[in-house]
Amino acid sequence: MKNYEVFLEEVNPCGGEDNLSKREFIEVEAEDPETYVKENGRFPIQEIDVNDKGETVIHTGDGHGYFIRYTFTEV
């Protein structure tokens, strides 16, 4: 298992990303980011990227505008 700091960004389709998004940091222990989101996320995975800092970024959503973006940083 690895330890990660995860930045969660939850976006409501009515509020837009800047106005009503909920942002928080959590710490998790997981085999890998994809497995963690599949087991603990509310929505299906839509996209998995690696940003320029080497962090894994996973986008999930309901297909109707509500989405959650997980940014995993290994600690």
Tell me the domain boundaries of the chain. 2-74
pLDDT of the chain along its 75 residues, tens only? 999 999 999 988 775 555 567 899 999 999 999 999 999 999 999 999 999 999 999 999 998 889 999 999 999
Angle, alpha carbons 33-72-14 (nearest 5°): 100
pLDDT of residue 65: 86
Whether the CB-CB separation of 57 and 50 falls below 8 Å is answered with yes
Tell me how many helices (H) and strands (E) the chain has. Answer: 2, 5
- In the numeric block, which tokens belong to residue 57? 């970024």
pLDDT of residue 20: 64
